[in-house]
């Protein structure tokens, strides 16, 4: 039988930091798709990204 791995404080900290980073990435993606294109970017070579 497999032995259960005991979680340490570092394991919980690593899980918490990864969760925060994933939430931040999701919010930045939402911001990217929900806001209008700034006028300075319209007509530039990066317009296709929006």
Over residues 18-40, the pLDDT tens digits come to: 999 999 999 999 988 887 766 66
Which of 1-10, 21-30, 38-47 has the largest mean confidence? 21-30
What pLDDT sits at residue 16? Answer: 95
| Helix runs in the chain, H state only | 9-34
Tell me how many degrees the CA angle 36-37-38 measures, rounded to the nearest 5: 110
**Cα–Cα distance measured from residue 50 to residue 32, given in angstroms and rounded to the nearest whole number:** 8
Where do the structural domains in the chain lie, given as residue ranges? 9-34
Q: Which two tokens stand for residue 19?
A: 């969760």
Average pLDDT, the chain: 79
């Amino acid at each position: 039988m497999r032995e259960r791995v005991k979680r340490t404080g570092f394991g919980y900290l690593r899980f918490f930091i990864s969760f925060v980073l994933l939430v931040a990435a999701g919010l930045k993606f939402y911001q990217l798709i929900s806001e209008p294109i700034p006028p300075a970017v319209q007509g530039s070579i990066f317009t296709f990204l929006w």
